[in-house]
Amino acid sequence: MSTTATSVRDEIQRANATFETCFAQGDAAAITGLYTPTGALLPTGMEPIHGAAGIEAFWQGVMGMGVKRVKLATRDVEELANTAIELGTYTLFGANEQRLDQGKYLVVWKEELGQWKLHQDIWNTSLPAAVQ
């Protein structure tokens, strides 16, 4: 959808709502479709993950670990031509709405063919590290 009728922030929030819905449905392939073909995930404690196959496998793995739902909250969006930077917070939920994690994220979005897509996605927990 063109951003002439709506703001970039609105478009990103709409894409995030789609991400949340697809996650709740266990549809890692649909989530992957929200990323650019050259998209990258930068998860805590892991090497970067590049491309559709890796992104889909990652999100499928997260779902397989018992995460049932994700809640994304946009805090700020800065637009730079066909790129936008989003700062937000996330919460991950397991069975019975048990909160499993919460933290913050930074996403670089790219506009491709009139749609805003996640391009680079980094996040980290706000919960204290477990005592070992």
Q: Which domains does the chain have, with CATH numbers?
A: 8-125 (3.10.450.50)
Mean pLDDT, rounded, for 50-77: 98
CA–CA separation, 7 vs 28, rounded Å?
27
CA–CA separation, 69 vs 48, rounded Å?
23
63, pLDDT greater than 90: yes
Predicted pLDDT of residue 130: 74
Mean pLDDT, rounded, for 43-70: 97
64, pLDDT greater than 50: yes
53, pLDDT greater than 50: yes
Q: Assign 11 a pLDDT band (cuts: 50, 70, 90).
A: very high
Cα dihedral 107/77/75/45 (nearest 10): 10
